[in-house]
Every structure is written in C-alpha cells, then in structure tokens.
Structure 1
Amino acid sequence: MQRHHEHHGHQQPQQEYVGHDEHQKQLADVRQDLHQARQQHSHHDKHAGHRPEIFKRRFFICLVLSLPVLYYAPMLQMWFGYRAIAFPGSEWVAPILGTIIYFYGGWVFLRGAWRELHSKIGMMTLIALAITVAFIYSLAVSFGLRGEPFYWELVTLVDIMLLGHWIEMASVQGASRALENLAELVPTVAHRLVNGRVEDVQVNTLQHDDLILVRPGEQIPIDGEVTEGASSVNEAFLTGESRPVTKHINDEVVAGSVNGDGALTVKVTRTGEQTTLSQIMRLVEEAQSSKSRYQALADQLAYWLTLIAITVATLTFIVWLAFAPDSTFAINRAVTVLVIACPHALGLAIPLVIVNATAMSAKHGILVRSREAFERARNIQTIAFDKTGTLTEGRFGVQRIYTDQIDELKALRIAATLESLSEHPLAQAIVQEADRRQIQFTKGEDFQAIPGSGVEGTVNNQRYRVGRPEWVRELKLTFPAALQAGLKESESRGESAIVLMDDQQVLAVFGLADQVREPAREAVARLQEMGVQVVMITGDAEAVAKTVAEDLNIDRYYARVLPQDKASIIRRLKAEKPTAFVGDGINDAPALTEADLGLAIGAGTNVAIESADLVLINSSPLDATYALKLAKATYNKMLQNLFWATGYNVIAIPLAAGIAYSFGILLSPAVGAILMSVSTVVVSINAMLLRRLRLRG
C-alpha cells in the first residue's frame, strides 16, 4: 500500500458527461443480461414470471366479485339469519361470478401448477387441484347434479391464496438493480489525446494503449496506467481503501475511481470485460444466478399435503362408491377432503410472519430485501465485516500528535490554519480536531497547494508547510530523531502521517487513522456473546487491519483483500460455518451475494444495498445483532404457524373422509370452512405476537 498522500485544493465540480443515449443503451444491455441470468434458473420458482402487481390486481378484482357470491351463499344466509334478495336469474349469480373468479383469479395458480408438474408438485398444484375440483363439482351441481355447491368456498379460497401470494411476493419486491448501478458508475465519454489534441469519444471505442486525459475532479473512465502527471485518486468505492492514494507515473488507475486536483494522462491497459469494474459486475451476476434457493417448509408441507390429499380423496371416493347408497355421497366426500386439505392458513403462514418481521425490522432500522433472509439468518455462526465505513467511520481522525520545539496546541493551530484551505480528507481531519479542541485559527497568507506533496503558506509572518513525510527529504530539511521515532511508531500502527515544517526543520508529526465506530465495539461484543464468530475483511494494509482488530477484540481478520478475493474468502468461511457478510462498498457486492446472508450498511453505495438480503438503514453494525436475534424469533414463528396451518388436517381430513360416519360424526364442507377460518385467525394472531419481541433489551 502506498503511504504517499497529496492534498487537494478546491475540488472542481465533476464534469457532466454527454453520450446519454449511448449510456442508456449500455444500461439496457445490462438489464437484458441480468434478465437472461434470472431466466436460466426461474423454472425452480413457483412464482416464475409473476409480479406482485399481478396478484394485487387480481386479488382486489376477485374480492369485489366475491361479495355477491358470499351474499347469496345459503350457508352464510343460515349462519347470519338473513334472506338474500331474489330476482329472475339470481340463482346464477354464484355460478357466473364463481366461473369468472376461477379463470381470472385462479389462472396464476393453474399455470403455476402446470410448471410444477414438470418439476416438483407443491403449493400451486394443491391450490389448482382444490379450486378446479370445487369449481367443476359446483358447476355440475348447478346443472342438476345432486349435492351442495362449493362456490363460496371456491371464491374465498382463490381470494385468500391471491392475498397470501401477493403479500409473499411484495416482501421480496425488487429484482436486484446492482448491475445497473455498477454500469452507471463510470462516465460514457473519455477525453482521448490524438496528436496533442483532445477529442471526446465514447468509452467503449477506446483501444488498448490509447492515451486519455483525466481532469481534476473527474471520474476515471477506464483502467489504465499513468504516463504523465501526479494526483491523489479516491479508490474507496472499488478497493475499500479508506484514504485517497497518490498516483504518479507508472501507477495503475481503475475505472470508477475519482481523480483529485491534478490532471493525469492515462494509457489504456484494459478494455471491455477485462476492466476491474466489469469483472466485479460478472462476479455479482454469477453470485445472483448461482445462489442456491432455500426450500421453504411451507412448500415441503404443501408437497406432502398434496400427495396425502389426492390419495385420501381417491380412496374416499372408491370406498364410499362401493358402500354408499349413491354416488353423490362419494363425490361429496372426496371433494370435501380436497377442499379441506388446502387450508387458507397455509398460504399465509409464512408471508404473515415475514410481513410482521419486516415491519418490525424497519422499525429498528433493518430493511428486508429477501424473503429467505430470516430463514437463513437463524443458522449464522460466522459474521464477516468489511472494515471501512462499517466497523470504522470511513473518515480520518487525529490519533496522536508528536512535537519538537513547539507546543502541541500551537502546532495544531498552525496546521489547521493551512489545512482549512484544503479539501483533502487528511486536511479536514486536522481542522476537525482543532474545532473539537475549540482552537481559534490564525489568518493564513500566500496559501499554495503543491500537487503530490501538501500545502504551504504564511502564518504570523512565518512560512510553514504541511504535507507527506517524503516532502521533508525533497526539501532537505532537518527531521529530529524524536519525531522520526514518532513517525515510525505511527506508521507501524497503520496510521497516515503528515508533518508540519518551517523553513529549517520538522516541527510536528500528526498520526491520523480511520476511526472505529462506537456501535462496532458493542456489536462485536454482543455477537461474541451470542456465540457468533466475528471476522474482519479489509482492503487496507496489514498494520491498519491489525490495529483495528485489536481495538475491537477481533481474533480473525484479512488485510489487503482485493474485490474478487472478498467473495473467495466468504466462500471459504461458508465451507466452515454458515456465514453472513456486512459491507457498504461496491467492492463488497460480490461478497454480499456470495454470503449465506448479506447485510449492507445503508449509508453505503446502491450496488451494495441492491446486492444484500438485509440493509442496515441506520448504518449501525449493532443492527446486525438485532437482525440475527429477530431471525431466530421469526423462524420459530414460522414453525408455529406451519403447525397451526396444517395441524388441524390430522383430524379434519379423516373426518371429512367419513371415518367417524358410523358414530354419527360427519364433517361437512361448512364445518371444514370454519376450521380453515379458525386456523387462519390463529396464524394471524401468532404472527402479530412477533411484534412483542424486544430486540434492544
């Protein structure tokens, strides 16, 4: 890692680039590639090709159409003691509206069942089978078959299932836009140098060895090597490096990083898919398309319940057809079994818990982006944190001041006076420390920024310089032994050192470092109390990583980690134990998608947020502990709800089949509907009880 630092002058506003149409075309290509990647594994999803809006629209339309059906239902008239208004043809209200609801509202389930028949039957098959049997039987009754139609059971079953799937899909709304955000990071136009002239060209037309000009304040459009100029470049988005890195001739620069106050001439070294940014985009896309899907317990139960329902209904029909006085009784029993075997509550068991957990998460500053996040989070045994911006503030603070022949406060006053005219992060750290100590600045004169070195100016008629330690040797000034020892000590801790000089010697050394966030200490302690191993991953140097790790009592850390290596480390950690990753930068996106659970710091980049399962809105690592605690409680509620949603079938299905008929006990569809309603109410109340959990206690 380079320890050379340059001070910025007043940064120029970033250039507004042209080529909007071309940029939009590139973004459209990214969307197309991402869509194709999703399509490759979409056949495994019961919601493949569906959007929340589909279920939402159909639910409300079917709900309105269901009201007349419920109003004319004989069973409801008997329960509530009213007589429906009769008019010529009123007996056809339920059949007509029931038919519309079956085809319009039930179509998504019928199509889903068709897909499941080509892979593995489950919830969609069960729903489709129940509504189809209920519809065909009810329609047959309307045209003369003896029996009681199931129209109101049919329409309420469709309504509840549409509601449940709408809630479920709404909880996972938002196909990841990470690749689009990555594509938007770099400019579409570059300043190419041709025979001493500057011409603006599209970035995708640049060739290997082309020379481009990067002006102060601009983003670097492509990977390359500096051939002329010196400047500091902010690479934090790509490398995780918390401080701008000084670039000289022969140094590499990366697309997407931001140039400082010096102009650079860059020779193109990588184009197209070879650039660092493109490789990160590929890693994110691969992680998205290859991440294994968590098979929800509800789907497993639906699979077995479907097999049981079909088997029991078939046996019921055969047995009663042999022993019943007429076939209508046998048909009625079989249909009742199928209708009862598809409880309304099963469709809501998981989504209701997720919605309540999501609302509770939001209240505590946690945004849920993945429906599987809570199921996976309960097993997490290792949590890896990115350092910069997650465990640390991502901004510098003065850690120590070494002085010689000058008072510490006076040294800080002089340095802050000069640095107040600079926008460099290290300069701002000096100024903020002076503000914290309530030091009044002295008026400076003849201020001048020296690219790649520092700043100089006159304070109280004395010339001073503040800049990188290497500047001392260039100016051939005296460097007292005590201050050299201080510099060595500061650098051994991975701190960034800048020096204050007059015309003869070095007067002070300031050790600056990225400051550890106070919530990070509590977060690490709590996680370790929960038995979760804490790991730190950073692109910073070994000394920096070691200092922060010791400060936070973290035993395991990785330093100097490149973007592509973060995902590899997470992969190795996953092989040992279920692993979560917390990060905030672009370089964290592949690791976030690779981890069993990705948590993005809310103040980070859109790419990190869009690649994560959970987003810590308040940017506090302490929220990661709340997420894991809530996940365990959520999973328990899911298990309880699945029990309540399906447990009654152990009794209801045999009774519906007529097993207690000889004892005068026969479960009618109406009673079965009551049991389904009770089951739904129990599931809803149980999900609401999740909100009583105290996360911060």
Structure 2
Amino acid sequence: MTSATELDLTIPGISCASCAGRVTRALTALPGVSDLNVNPVTKRAHLRLDGATLPQVQDALEQAGYPAQLTTTRLTIDGMSCASCSGRITRALTVRPDVAQAQVNLATHRAEVTHAPGLSPEALAQAITHLGYPAKVAVPDCLAAPPPDQAPDLRRAFLTALALTLPVFLVEMGGHAIPGFHHWLHGLVPTQALWLAQMVLTLAVLAGPGRRFFTAGIPALRRGAPEMNSLVALGAGTAFLFSTVVTLAPGLVPASSRQVWFEAAAVIMTLILMGRWLEARAKGQAGAAIRALIALAPDTATALRDGRPVKLPVADLRDGDLLLLAPGERVALDGVVTDGSGPVDESMLTGEPVPASKAPGDKVTGGTVNGSAALTYRVTATGSDTVLSRIVALVEQAQAARLPVQALVDRVTLIFVPVVMALAALTFVLWLIWGPGLAHAVVASVSVLIIACPCAMGLAVPVSIMVGSGRGAQLGVLFRRGDALQKLAGARVVAFDKTGTLTQGRPRVTAIWTDGIGRDDALRFTAAAEARSEHPLAAAILAEAEGMDLPAARSVTATAGRGLTASVEGQDLLIGNRAALEAGGVPPAPALLAQADDAARQGATPVHLAVDGRHVATFALADPERPEAAPTVADLHRLGLETAMLSGDLLATTQAVGARIGIDRIKAGLTSEDKLTAIHGMGKGSVFVGDGINDAPALAAAETGIAIGTGTDIAIESADAVLMSGNPQGVVRAIRLSRAVMRNIRQNLFWAFAYNAALIPVAMGVLVPFGGPQLSPMLGAAAMALSSVFVVGNALRLRSAA
C-alpha cells in the first residue's frame, strides 16, 4: 500500500457554498489531509490522506455536522479457527486508511466492513485472502443460504482419525487397563516393529484427517502470525518428529530419553477433531434461527393468470400479482388481502401465539401460515423488500455485531498465541536443564502448546450473540444493532410513548349520554356531520355508527381546536368541546356536563352535540390501553426498573392512563424536542419505546431505542431494537433476553480465561516440585477440545431464554 491514499467522499448534508466552507475548514484542520477540494454542487469532497485515516475524517465531518456517506461490504471468510485469526483479520482491515470500521465474527465466519466508496469489495476480499483466509463478497440476497455446515466433514475426519488412532493408543496404553497386556504384546512383536507400525498409523492421522491443521498453521507460522492451528501443528508435529527420530535414528537421542509419543500425537489430533466436530454441530444449532426463518419462505405459489390458477416459482412473481392462498398454506410474499377473511398465524414473526384476523384490505406477511379460510391477496413486495428478508438481514446484522465487551478479548488474543509459544519454549528449556531428560522436556512443551485454547476466548462473545439474536427473532424481538444486547442489559428506566404504544392508537366511543334525544339519533346526526371531517375523533364516531343510514350534511364548517357546525335534516348542529358550546352561545346541560367532567377525569375526551341551540348529547371518546400495557409495566417493576410515560397528549388524559397501568413518572403535553430533553435527563441506562414519526429523535437519543414494529418506518430506522408485534410485552422479553445474553457471555469469558490461567501453568509443571500432577499432551488435547464445546454448549442454553 502506498503512503498516501486518494479519497472521494459523498457528503449529502452539503446544500450551499457555506456548507462546503465549513466542511473544508473541518478537514483542513485535520493533520495528514491534503489536496482538498469540496464541491457544493456535486456534494462531493476529494482529498488525499497522508497520515490521516478515514475514521478521523469521518469524526471531523460528524463534529462539523456533515457526515460522509460510506459503503458497507459484507464478506464470508474461510479458515478462521480462533480469536487470533479474527483479530488478525480485523487489524489488517482497520490499518487501511480507507476503512472506517471492521467487524469480524468468528462464530458466523463473516465480516462487515465500512469503508470509502472508492474501495471495491473485491479488493477487501483479496486483502483478507492474502492473509491466508480465503474471502469473498457475501451474496446480497438476504434469503441466501447460510454458510455450509462443516459438521459432516469434521465427523468423517474424526471417525477416520479415531479408527487409525485406536490401535496406536491400545498398544501404548493398553497395559494400564489390562495387567500383563504390555509384556504379552512385546513378547509377541518386537518393540521396533511396534514403533514402526505406530509411526505409519500416526503419519496417516497427521497427513489425512489432521492435515488441515498443518495446511493452515504452518503458513501462519511462516507469516509470523501464529494462531490456534499453529499450536496444534507444532504440538502434534513435535511429538511425532521426536518419536520418529527415536524410531529411525535412536543414536541421535540419549538412551534415557528413547521414548516414543506417537499415541500422544495421534490422540491429540483425534481429540481436537472431535472437539471441532462437536463445536461445528453446536454452532450449526446456534444458526438454526436463521435457517428456520429462511425455511419459512415457500418455493412456489399459486398465481392467477388470465383468471386461471397457475403454480409458479416465487422468484418469478412480481408486485401486483394476485395469489391464491389455500387453508393451511404458507404465505409466499408480502401482500394485501383482496378477497376472503380468516385467521393467519403470525407467531414465527411476531412471537404472538394468537392468530391475527385478516379481511380485505389487511396486510399479510410472507412466511406466515394461513388458517382455515381461503384467501386471495395482491403482492406488494418481493425479494429483499419483504418483511421476512428484512428480518433475516437484521438478525444476521445483529449476529455479526461486535459488542464493547469484545474489546477485552481482542486485547488478550492479540498476544495470546505468541505468549503460549514463548511459554512452551521456556518450559522445554527449564525441563531440559532440571528435568529427567529430553523426552520429558519435549512432552512438557507439547502439553503447553496443546492445552492453550484461544478458540474458547474467540467464541465466548460472538456465539452468545448469535444464539441470543436468533432467539430474539423467535420471540418477535429484532436487534437492529448488536450492541443493543449489551446496553439493554444495563437499563435503569424505561420510558414509553402513550398513543399507539401503551394504547391502541385508535380512539373509540366509550359512552353516549343524551338529554331529550334518542341515542341512535344523536349518533346518526353526529356521524353525518363528522363524515366530512378528517379528525381522528371523527373516525371513532363513524366507526361507532357503522351500518347506520346517515343523512347528508350541509354547510359543514370546522373551527380549529373547538369542533364544527353543520346542517342535517334541516336542523343546525354544533359538535365540539365545551369551548365550542360557549362560543356558540349554547348553555350546557348540567347533567351532561357532569358526565363529561367525570369522563375527562378518567382520561376520555368529551364531545358535545347541540341541536338548534340546545345541548342534547355528550360522547366520551378514549384511546383504550392495550390489554398488555399494565402487565408489561408490572413485569418491568419486578425486574427492578423504573417506568415513565412521555406523551404529547393532555395532562389529565395522560395521568389517567398512567395511573391505570401503574407508570412511575408521567410527562404530558410534550413536543418532539421536549421528549428529547426528557430522555437526556434520564441519563445512563435510558430506554425509550415508541412508534410514531415524532418519536424518532427520542428513539435515537435514548441509550436504547425500541420501536413498535407496527409503527412508522422512520421510528423503526431510528431504533436499536424492533418489536415485530404491537405488544409492549416484547420490551420485557427484550430486557430479559439481553440480561440472559450478557450473563451467558460473562460465564463464557470466565471459563475461557480461567481455563487457560489455571491449566497452562499445570501443563508447564509448576505443581510437580510440590508433588502435584502435570498434564499429559493427551489430557491437554481433551481439555482444550472440551473448552470450546463448553462455551458453545453454554451459549446454546439461550435458545430457551426469556
């Protein structure tokens, strides 16, 4: 790479020459930036980096208020076996001045790189391939199959190694289990012949199923970048070579050290292959959520062509196609019902067990299951635009995320393998000087190489994220950003928007009181006048009057903040609040006014009707709380969290709703800016839950923003997590899951670090002078293999979390 890098960046926020000037000043002040040219017309900046980096450039632009538009590339990577591998790839990418950020995930074998638009994805893949880890650009289709399952191949390798190792193991270790076996065998077959047979079988293990460790580990050693495969290759290879010298050229080894360790080399390979197989099986189970989601999409669907049903591949369908949906059939693509009505099971997408009722005009989502009725629907989204595709993309994005806690692991694994190799060398020297002989020194150093396990460290965080994110998808909780899993676990206060989040978002008529007029007439007159209004309360009155024969309304005039006047069947109507009655000179009826005041105290909105100057009816309209709202708040309190409600509605209404569902703190009459200020005042551990456009700033400002999936796209894009259903109980699920994931990660990290901290010294022999044991290479290989399996197995417990 040259010392200087040319960058061309798009800066969407530039709208005038003044903006371009501010961008110029921000970048000119950055050391290492030269040849700067900012064009306000094309909204592009050309610059030369000579010492500066893209992250520094982006930080300077963000502080100036003009962030650059960067490109994100996803890559699939082969050959990663431990945290050292993923750490090395991360460092190779982030040292490039044209890369802003790189996340490499050991569990999913994927990388997500944010970089300058001028850097091609193929160049990134090539750079990783040059490190010895074959990489390619990920398939853009969200529903592409996940990486192939390595478990079958590793199972075959393990079974082959086991068959070849078993005779070697029995020859050397059979005497420990069967008294007299050793003397009988050596009386039957000369020792040299037994050694030669063991050498051939062990060579077959190392060159056959164990070859993968050498083909990956030795080139890494040559590059000066050793990793887990290097440790295995060195350990098993050293044991084999030493034994081979003893077998073929015994004169080169002192008589006291003429022992062979073929069984150690063979057993090491077999046990580690077993560990890799079990690990691959477990990782395959960890990715089951993604595969289950992908499997929801059917391959074919029945479309109407010229009025006749035709079975077609889903890939051939387009927006606007009419599809027939038989009872029990899975919905192929997102659409809108045009004919028929019945229940649809959406549990795999929303986590809600109760089927949703569908009728003409209602949306259906690809992957859901039709109930007992035949439906016809029109396709509204295909390919990567479908809800299912977006869910898969979000889950994959969360699974590939790098949590802040990962930084600790990265710092350790940066030096772990070189330190282990240095400790193995030190062990060899010390045992050679003070030990019983060369053979013992070799065995001790091999034990140190084999016992070390950066695999467990590397898998501790990402495999928990992988399983936890998949479990969240099953529960209808999508983490758009992986770090939300960590932040949500530290939540202290959960603030809710009211309308559409804790309430149903659709006002309805809860009561009608009349004085001198029939209830149906009052409703009919009012609905006739409100039919010309676009006010949300008008929709509630019209819904209540559904099925009535409404007369025509004339001379409809609306007054902002009060109500409207109209003429219906020759009578003059005034509809509105108390201020509208007073402005119209209509004396309020005491009984109706008392009912209205009582309804207002309960959080309802009173609407009065006057006919020909006489107050004859009062309607109470309210936005009912969701049935799950109160249980959600109670569950949050049981989790030790404080709750708040931030609403733009009237104080009396908000207080009434808050009191009924048990909210701790209530703020009403808030604008978007007021909500933002309230969120900032909550400090660390703030969570905001909302669904509207006006909630987007608060969702972005909160430490963790949770959007209701039935809300607006703007709110969802601003959030860290999304609840696929409108059920606020998903907030409780998300927090419980987040806490479970972080608890699981802490357990994994403790095991990974404690394992190495405890067993590497034992393998070195520090307990031997005190009469303690020293681990053999075989026991070291078993412990190393099981440590990775333990970490992955522990993470799999998250599949039943929350």
Q: TM range, normalised to the smaller chain?
A: 0.5 to 0.7
**Does residue 448 of structure 2 align to residue 337 of structure 1?**
yes
**Alignment check: 8 A CA contact 2:286 2:796 kept:** no
Judging changes above 3 Å, is the alpha-carbon distance between structure 1 residues 433 and 297 closer, same or farther for their aligned structure 2 residues?
farther
Q: Match of 2:63?
A: none
State how 1:92-491 maps to structure 2 within 5 Å.
93=208, 97-98=212-213, 100-102=215-217, 129-135=227-233, 148=265, 293-295=404-406, 309=420, 312-323=423-434, 330=441, 333-342=444-453, 344-399=455-510, 401=512, 403-419=514-530, 424-434=535-545, 441-446=548-553, 449-450=556-557, 462=571, 464=573, 466=575, 476=584, 478-480=586-588, 482=590
DSSP-derived class of the 1:554 partner: coil
1:411 positional shift: 1.8
- How far the C-alpha of 1:172 sits from its partner, in A, is 12
Tell me the number of residue pairs that the alignment of Structure 1 and Structure 2 aligns.
527
**Cα distance between partner residues in 1 of 2:485 and 2:273:** 32
Match of 1:573 in 2: 682
Q: Percent identity?
A: 30
Deviations 1:513-533, CA, capped at 9 Å, x for gaps: 433222111222232233321
Uncovered stretches (5+) of structure 2, i.e. residues with no partner = 1-41, 44-57, 59-65, 73-92, 114-134, 139-144, 171-196, 246-260, 292-401
For the residue of structure 1 that corresponds to 2:731, the secondary structure is: helix
Structure 1 residues 473 and 456: CA distance shift in structure 2, 3 A = same
| Alignment partners' CA distance in 2, 1:677 and 1:583 | 46
SS at match of 1:507: strand
Could you tell me how far 1:534 is from its partner in structure 2?
Answer: 0.9
The 10-residue stretch of structure 1 (70-79 or 634-643) with the greater mean CA deviation from structure 2 = 70-79
Query: Which residue, 88, 92, 112 being the options, matches 1:51?
Result: 112
Contact 1:316–1:330 (CA<8 Å) still a contact in 2?
yes
Please state whether the residue corresponding to 1:600 is helix, strand or coil. strand
SS in 2 for 1:522: helix
Q: 1:341: how far off?
A: 1.7
Q: Could you say which residue in structure 2 is the equivalent of 1:624?
A: 731
Code of the aligned partner of 2:689: V
Q: Cα distance 1:555–1:94, how it changes in 2: closer, same or farther (>3 A)?
A: closer
Residue in 2 that maps onto 1:542: 651
Instruction: Give 2:502's aligned amino acid.
Output: L
Select the residue among 743, 761, 770 that pairs with 1:654.
761
Which range moves more in the overlay, 580-589 or 343-352? 343-352
The answer to whether residue 701 in structure 2 is matched with residue 603 in structure 1 is no
- Listed as ranges, the gaps of 5+ residues in structure 1 are 1-24, 115-127, 174-290
| CA gap 1:599/1:452 in 2 versus in 1, 3 angstroms | same
1:170/1:333 CA distance change after superposition, 3 Å: farther
Task: Name the TM-score, length of structure 2 as normaliser.
Answer: 0.53
Query: Does residue 508 of the first structure (1) align with residue 617 of the second (2)?
Result: yes
Question: Counterparts of 2:526 and 2:136 in 1: how far apart (Å)?
Answer: 63
Query: Do 1:340 and 1:673's aligned partners in 2 also have CA atoms closer than 8 Å?
Result: yes
Q: Give the match's secondary structure for 2:632.
A: helix
What's the RMSD between the two structures over aligned residues? 5.4
The verdict on how the C-alpha distance between 1:130 and 1:328 changes in structure 2, with shifts beyond 3 A counting, is farther
Classify the secondary structure of the residue corresponding to 2:612.
Answer: coil
Tell me: CA distance 1:139–1:611, structure 2 relative to 1, closer, same or farther (3 Å). Answer: farther
- Residue aligned with 2:228, SS: helix
Q: Which residue of 1 aligns with 2:660?
A: 551
Within the alignment, does 1:531 sit opposite 2:640 as a pair? yes
Helix, strand or coil for the counterpart of 1:392? coil
Check whether the contact 1:343–1:646 (CA below 8 A) recurs between aligned residues. no
* Structure 1 residue 623: Cα displacement: 2.6
Contact 2:151 2:280 in 1 (8 A): no
Aligned to 1:78: 166
- Find the aligned partners of 1:613 and 1:620 in 2 and give their Cα distance: 17
Aligned partner of 2:692 in structure 1 is: 585
Contact kept in structure 2, 1:391 and 1:517, CA below 8 Å: yes
Structure 2 vs 1, CA of residues 688 and 69 (structure 1 numbering), >3 Å: closer, same or farther? closer
Amino acid paired to 2:111: H
**For residues 7-22 of structure 1, what are the structure 2 equivalents within 5 Å?**
none
SS in 2 for 1:394: coil
Give the conservation status (yes or no) of the 8 Å contact 1:167–1:355.
no
**Is the contact made by 2:275 and 2:789 (CA closer than 8 Å) also made in structure 1?**
no
1:671 equivalenced with 2:776 (yes/no): no
3-state DSSP of counterpart to 2:501? helix
Whether contact under 8 Å (2:649, 2:668) holds in the other structure is yes
CA-CA distance at 1:355 after TM superposition = 4.2
Q: Residues 77 and 331 from structure 1, CA distance in 2 versus in 1: closer, same or farther, beyond 3 angstroms?
A: closer
Map of 1:230 onto structure 2: none
C-alpha deviations, 1:382-424, integer Å up to 9, x for none? 2111222111222212355454433445423432344456554
| Counterpart AA for 1:528 | H
Given that 2:503 and 2:623 are in contact with CA atoms closer than 8 Å, whether structure 1 keeps it comes out as yes
- Which residue does 1:182 correspond to in 2? none
| 1:395 alignment partner, SS class | coil
